[in-house]
Structures are given as structure tokens and as C-alpha cells.
A and B are shown apart, each in its own frame.
Chain A
Amino acid sequence: MNTAEELSGKARTLSELKPLTDKGYAQGFVTDIEQEFAPKGLSEDTVRFISAKKNEPEWLLQWRLKAYRHWLTMTEPDWGKLNHPPIDYQDAYYYAAPKKKLKSLDEVDPQLLETYKKLGIPISEQETLAGVEPRIAVDAVFDSVSVATTFKKKLEDIGVIFCAISEAVQKYPELVQQYLGSVVPIYDNYFATLNCAVFTDGSFVYIPKGVRCPMELSTYFRINAENTGQFERTLIIADEGSHVSYLEGCTAPKRDENQLHAAVVELVALDNAQIKYSTVQNWYPGDENGKGGIYNFVTKRGACRGDHSKISWTQVETGSAITWKYPSCILQGDHSVGEFYSVAMTNHYQQADTGTKMIHIGKNTKSTIVSKGISAGKGQNTYRGLVKIMPKAEGARNHTQCDSLLIGDLCGAHTIPYIESRNRTARLEHEATTSKISEDQLFYCRQRGLSSEDAVGLIVNGFCKEVLNELPMEFAVEAQKLLSISLEGSVG
């Protein structure tokens, strides 16, 4: 990349940061819309209600019930470095959907349209200029239902399936049945099992053999309804030799109570396939006193089943009161590659316990972990990562780099790496640093004309650069803005 491109590309946002006069959490509005709910609380009836609403086949209902019954025997994990009052699973709705079927995204959320417009992503297909190749197709999930998916037809023409998972259950039941729960089994963990029982919607992607998906696929998740959990389920299958880049974004209204979000994402990459999965997580983080915010308990896992396959996770986590999330790669195929690039930022009373698991099973498998944790205010940030080398993983390699940046004296950063190597040919490297934004850096930037906030934004963006570089360009820009906005109030 030459300097001109660099200037006009990603980092140009730094100069765009200033017009963002809209302080605080900009997405905290509520869309006023008539909705239908499942009866409050969680029971077999709730599970049946959801399954019936989605008109699901019997096998899926039974699958859900199996999960639900097992969930009843499980206890919430408590090993995370997280603090929260007990969650009352009966005091929430598990299904909320607009009464009237929405036909397009603008009926839902004008702000959402605005957001995408700013990113230069046409949300309705009509908006795409004639002759201009669309770069991003969008699915939007509003509470419990998928509202609309753009460019479906265009994608279908080359065999790419991109639709709501509820629709895939109807239209491609064999694919769903073959892969659902094949990466994250229904008994995997407390929140994943809960998700199996009550998942409502999410995206489904299938890329056929040899196809490079010609556009980015993107899902936007929005929690709108009060007292409602969101349990989305995403399944992406990249068949042999295919490539896909998928990204997700999310927002929620400002509310005083905590809302639960427990998603499951499963990725499957067959021989020579590549999946790039990017997240810009911006759930409502709660206010500056720690009131409200989303509890984000998410299970994301990818299986590199094929030889020479590759799965790359990139996440920018700025939102949520609590983030509990370990996007992982199971490197089964020989020469398969797993990557995890993460920025996690906690400000005020936010808590994040996040990281990854890289499980090396095949020969010459390779993984890279780059984690950047930023703590400000009274935020607590933990990197927790596992690198596991199985006996047959001859020549496995891992490189882990964990950097923490502290802003102020009241926050915390913790690095908890677990390494289990059962093959002596494995090469593992681990580097970790902790630094603070220094007075010298702040003064230097301010002497050059930047406000303290802009200076911190610039320094933080520099700190995260390796990770931001992994995001598709439009989202790198958005992520930079988010990082700066999330830091508001962190410098005196």
C-alpha cells in the first residue's frame, strides 16, 4: 500500500473523528414497533413455541428439547474473571418478532440505514448504481427474526446461499442437519446449550466448491425489545476450495436492565477453503456507573476440517457490559491455519474475558494469535487463550502476542495463556506486553494540536493497528470511530 492510499484509506477516519459530535452510545435509540412475544420465561413450552413459530421439522424440535433438558442439569460457568448478579432466566422473553412482516430494512431502523450509508454499503438493492459491482450483501436480524437479506438472487446465481437460518431449515434441511451442532455440540457449554434450545434466527451461508464469494457477506444484529434475550445462530460452510469473508455488527438500545445475548457461531472449512470472520461488537455497554448493558456470552468456533484450509477470526469488541467469548479454531486438516486477531476495549465498568482456543490436530498446522486489550475507567480486561497441540500434530506452530494498554489507574488487564503441547516437534512462541499511555505521549500529541481525547484515540488506534488492518476496509473505519467513542470520558 502506498502512502497516498494509506492516507485516503483506513486512517483518514482519524480526521473524520472530530465531526462526531454525537457523544456517547449513538445507537441507543429504541425503534417503536408492534411486537409479538413468546410467553415470558423458559420452559419446554417456550422451546416448542419458538420451534412452532419457525415451522420447524420434528428433528429440530427434538434437538432443541434435548438441549433444553440437558441445560437444566448444567450450571453457569464461573471460571471467567467476571462479576455479575445471578441471571434470572425466567425473567426474560425468548422470542420477540415484529407483528407485521417487515419487507425491508428501512421499516425497522432508519438509523441502521444511515449507518450503512455512511459505510458506503447499499442496503436496498435498488440503491446500487448501475454498473457498479456491489461489495457487500447484508442480512439483518431484528430481535428474533431475520428481516431481509440483500443480493440473494445474485449470490444464488453462483450457488452461494446466504439467508436466514430459519429459511435454510426450510429450504436446505439436509445441509443444516448435516452441519448444525457439528462444531459446537449441543452439550458444549451452558450458554451454547441454552442457545441450542432457544435460538431464534441468524445467518446461514454455504459457499459451493471452488467459488470465491464475490462480495462480503454481512449480518447486522439488533436487540430492540425490552427484557428480551437474543440467541442467534450462525452457520457458515465453505466447501472445498471456496473463499468467503463474513462480517457482523450489532447494536442495542440503552436500557437500565441487563439483557442476555448468547449466540453460537459455527464455521466449517473443507479442503483448501478459507473463511474470514470479522466482528465489530457494539452492544450497549451500560452507562458510566455500570447500570444496564448487554451480557454477551457467545460461543464461536470454526473447524478447519480440510487440508490446507484456513479460518481467520477478527474481532473488535467495544460494547457489552460483559463479554465472554473465545472464537476458536479446530485445526483438523493437515497444513490448516487458524488466526485470531482481537481488540477488546473496556471502559467504565465493562468487563471482558475473551481470547481463543487453537486446537492443533493435523500435521503442520499453524496458528497466530494477536490480542490487544485496552482498559480504561474501571474496566477489567482478561485475555484467556488456549493453545493445544495434539500428539499427531507434527510440526505445529503457534505464535501468540498479547498486548495490554492501560488508561488510568483504576482499570485492570490480565493475561491468562494456557499451553498444552503433546508433540515435541511443535514450536510455540508467546509474547506479552503491558503498557500505559504515557504523559509524554499525550503531551507530545497535544503540543501538536490534538485534544486529549483525540490524542488517546490516535494512540489507541495505533496500538490496535495490526488487528484493524485485518478488517475489511469499511469496517476498519467504523471500528476506529467506535474505539474513540468508547473511550470518551476516560481522560481527564
Chain B
Amino acid sequence: MSTPILEIKNLHARVEEKEILKGINLTINEGEVHAIMGPNGSGKSTLSYILAGREGYEITAGEVLFKGKDLLSLAPEERAAAGVFLGFQYPVEIPGVSNIIFLKTCVNSVRKARGQAEYDAIKFLRIVREKAKTLNMDEAMLKRSVNVGFSGGEKKRAEILQMALFEPSLAVLDETDSGLDIDALKVVSDGVNALRDPSRAMLVITHYQRLLNHIVPDHVHVMAAGRIQESGGRELAQKLEANGYAQYIKAA
């Protein structure tokens, strides 16, 4: 019944000479939301970058399947077209390129690769406006350069807006809660929850359990020192909140 979207098998990776991922195993099925929690430096962002295809990592062992097919051989843009979306921990600035142009260029590029009709300007604007509204985003933001001068909250909202537009099969959200105050956290979480869908898988990466009060995961994994140290239901997040990561750091 449950079809896997993402299967990570014994993934080992290193940067330069340093081994960062030391055997990750993780399967996420359609409709599921998984959370990865862990202390800083445990390899969470590295995992998300490898899933999205960033260069500079050497995969020394293991494999990653996306909808049953090898993911690691695809270029980043091919993964995007196939339905992999990464919400960045640190969204990147592109001076001089307005959000709306960026979004339209990217969305149409992906739609084209997926064999879908490209949106014309008017239609696209309508769609974006509607989605932006549900995220409490100021319309003026659409005209501003991508992430330039955005507050932390604005950046994260912009990431969620992008996710909504790309309609991914797998959304990896890297520390979407960092830099958010409580109100923004609520808006962003609502945005994510609105995208929960029986056909979509999500991997929510966070340092803090508070995000998981808003985005309630089906499974929680604790990552430390490049490995998943423990997996469980959402109660695991609460246990971490109470006890911290100390035991895992020691164990690792």
C-alpha cells in the first residue's frame, strides 16, 4: 500500500578528506512526513544537499532511490524537474532578479521539463498572488530581488512559496524554523501543512522540537555524527526536548 518515494541505503559521503555521512538508512513513503533532528554539525544539511545534487561531495558507499530510480546520477535541475525540492537553510541572494521573474523562469523551466504547459505572465501572476496571500506575504516582496535584504522570516516564507509553486513529490526542508519568531513560525508551518498530501513525502530537518508542535511528523529520527542514532514516533521529539542531544553525542 505504502509506496516509497525516497530510499536512502547505507549512504556514506565525504567532503574533501572528511567523512560526514557514515551510513544513513531512511525510507520515506508517500504521504509521510519525517523529521530529522540533531545537533549542529551532525550532517543534516549535508544530507539535504546530497539529495538535491550539490557538487563537492564524494559518495563513498550506498545509494539513493527516488521513486525507485537512482537519484544520485541526476543533475540538480533534473532532480527538480523530477520533483525534488529543497527548502534552503540559508536561501541565496540573487541581486537584480526580481522574485516574480525568478519564480516564473524556474517554474516554467520545470513545467517544460515535466511536459506541462508553461504559464503565461498573467496566469502565473494570479497563481503566485494567491499563494503569497495564504503565506501572509507582502506583494511588494514579489518585485524585490530574490532574497536580497529579506529578513529571516521573509526568506523562509519565500522558500515555502516556492515549494507551493513547484508541487514537489519530495520536499526537504532544512531548518525552516531557524530565524523565525512565533508568528512567522506559525505562518510557515501552516504553509507546509497545507501542502501535506497523500502523494507527497516530506523530510523536515530541525534542531528544535518546537517546529514539530506545528508540523506534526509521522516519524522522527535523531541524527548525530553522520548517522541516524534513533528513530521513533513524534514522542521521540518530546523526549529530546526534555533530555537534549547529549546522550547521542556521547554515543557517537
Contacts and interface: CB of A to CB of B under 8 A. Distances in A.
Given A446-B80, A466-B96, A458 B122 contact: no
A450 interface: yes
A439 B55 CA distance: 9
A392 B114 CA distance: 65
B97 interface: yes
Interface of B: 49, 52-56, 75-77, 79-81, 85-86, 88, 91-98, 100-102, 104-110, 112-113, 118, 121-122, 124-125, 139, 142-143, 145, 162, 166
B100 A461 contact: no
A11 B145 CA distance: 13
A203 B110 CA distance: 46
A12 B105 CA distance: 8
Contact of B109 (A4, A438, A449, A459): A449
B106 A449 contact: yes
A445 B110 CA distance: 11
Question: Which of A6, A441, A448, A464 has the most chain B CB atoms closer than 10 A to its own CB?
Answer: A448
Given A6-B101, A18-B112, A462-B95, A446 B77 contact: yes
B77 A7 contact: no
A187 B77 CA distance: 56
Given A4-B121, A8-B122, A449-B166, 18 more contacts: A3-B142, A6-B100, A7-B100, A7-B101, A7-B121, A14-B101, A441-B92, A443-B54, A443-B76, A444-B91, A446-B76, A447-B52, A447-B79, A448-B109, A449-B106, A450-B106, A461-B96, A462-B145
B101 A448 contact: no
Contact of A11 (B76, B93, B101): B101
Nearest to B119: A15
A444 B92 contact: yes
Which of A443, A454, A461 lies at the interface centre, i.e. has the most chain B CB atoms within 10 A of its CB? A443
A4 B126 CA distance: 9
Contacts of A438: 92
A403 to B, nearest CB: 10
Interface in A4-53: 4, 6-8, 11-12, 14-15, 18
B109 A454 contact: yes
A231 to B, nearest CB: 37
Interface residues of A, number: 32
Contacts of B102: 448, 458
Contacts of A461: 96-97
Contacts of B95: 462-463
Interface of A: 3-4, 6-8, 11-12, 14-15, 18, 438-441, 443-451, 454, 458-459, 461-466
Contact of B94 (A4, A11, A15, A441): A441
A458 B125 contact: no
Top 8 closest pairs, chain A to chain B, by CB:
A462-B96, A462-B97, A449-B110, A7-B121, A446-B76, A448-B106, A465-B96, A444-B92
A325 B204 CA distance: 54
A15 B118 contact: yes
A296 B86 CA distance: 46
Nearest to A455: B77
A447 B121 contact: no
B112 A446 contact: no
Nearest to A2: B143
27 contacts: A3-B100, A3-B139, A3-B143, A4-B121, A7-B104, A8-B121, A8-B122, A11-B98, A11-B101, A14-B105, A438-B92, A443-B92, A446-B75, A446-B77, A447-B52, A447-B76, A447-B77, A447-B86, A448-B106, A448-B162, A448-B166, A449-B113, A450-B105, A450-B109, A451-B77, A454-B105, A458-B102
Contacts of B106: 445, 448-450
Given A6-B100, A458-B94, A461-B97, A447 B80 contact: yes
A264 to B, nearest CB: 33
Contacts of B143: 3, 6
A249 to B, nearest CB: 23
B94 A445 contact: yes
A424 B131 CA distance: 55
B46 to A, nearest CB: 13
Contacts of B91: 444
Given A15-B105, A443-B54, A450-B106, A464 B80 contact: no
